């Protein structure tokens, strides 16, 4: 590591400092300290912070999700290094330590969703044990709930998530307009789906259910 920093588990007392780092990295995004605190209090949710001279300069947020087949996945959801401390290998150190924690939560794999344009983050994960198959996924989200009732199809899997940026559901399994609408009915926050960029039927169904495109991403995965 380029700088003398300590990596430790974050506590609720770090929430304000984490919010400051988050804002420093993504100033155009909404940053809410209460949302960060809420995520930190969830079971099977851990954040690590990098501290230099008692100042939080970076963090990595992680949590468990469970796939429809029962696979436990360790999600490295948000990695942020304050601009004043970037290019010092702090991000890489956080990824290495955060990945190890996945074994403590009985996860079989760790993964990170990285925007295709985020070359710096791709390089950070590539320098550890993570790999990508380079499949491109288009993230579609919706924030307005559906007022009338909608049943979740049996082949659609809704996963509740609570992150440093939002709370809501991830949609997995078979993509259909019925599934996208059902997620909106059960919505409390944000509903999102990662749709293969070449799955035109699913993309059309998402658009018909009023989901909007955010950006394109790739999964980076490490076996635990």
CA distances for 88 relative to 83, 85, 91, angstroms: 11, 6, 8
Every domain of the chain and the residues it spans: 6-134, 137-221
Q: How far apart are CA 7 and CA 78, in angstroms?
A: 16
Q: How far apart are CA 110 and CA 219, in angstroms?
A: 10
* CATH 3.40.630.30 given to domain 6-134: yes
pLDDT digit string, tens, across residues 53-65? 999 999 999 999 9
pLDDT confidence tier of residue 192, bands split at 50, 70 and 90: very high
What confidence score (pLDDT) does residue 59 get? 98
Scanning the structure block, which residue is given the tokens 């709370």? 167
pLDDT digit string, tens, across residues 68-109? 999 999 999 999 999 999 999 999 999 999 999 999 999 999
Q: In what order do the strands lie in the sheet with 109-115?
A: 6-9, 45-52, 55-66, 72-81, 109-115, 212-223, 137-142, 190-196, 167-173, 156-162
Q: Tally Cβ neighbours within 10 Å of residue 116.
A: 15
């Amino acid at each position: 590591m380029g700088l003398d920093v300590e990596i430790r588990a974050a506590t609720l007392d770090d929430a304000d400092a984490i919010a400051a780092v988050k804002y420093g990295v993504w100033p155009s995004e909404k940053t809410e300290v209460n949302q960060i605190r809420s995520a930190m209090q969830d079971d099977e949710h851990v954040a690590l912070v990098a501290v230099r001279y008692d100042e939080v300069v970076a963090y990595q947020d992680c949590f468990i999700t469970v796939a429809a087949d029962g696979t436990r996945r360790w999600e490295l959801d948000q990695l942020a290094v304050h601009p004043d401390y970037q290019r010092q290998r702090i991000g890489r150190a956080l990824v290495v330590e955060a990945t190890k924690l996945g074994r403590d939560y009985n996860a079989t794999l760790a993964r990170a969703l990285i925007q295709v344009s985020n070359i710096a983050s791709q390089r950070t994960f590539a320098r550890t044990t993570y790999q990508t198959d380079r499949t491109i996924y288009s993230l579609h989200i919706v924030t307005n709930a559906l007022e009338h009732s909608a049943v979740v199809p049996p082949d659609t899997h809704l996963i509740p998530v609570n992150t440093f940026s939002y709370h809501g559901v991830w949609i997995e399994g078979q993509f259909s307009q019925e599934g996208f609408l059902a997620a909106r009915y059960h919505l409390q926050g944000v509903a999102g789906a990662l749709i293969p960029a070449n799955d035109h039927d699913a993309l059309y169904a998402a658009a018909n259910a009023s989901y909007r495109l955010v950006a394109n991403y790739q999964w980076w995965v490490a076996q635990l």
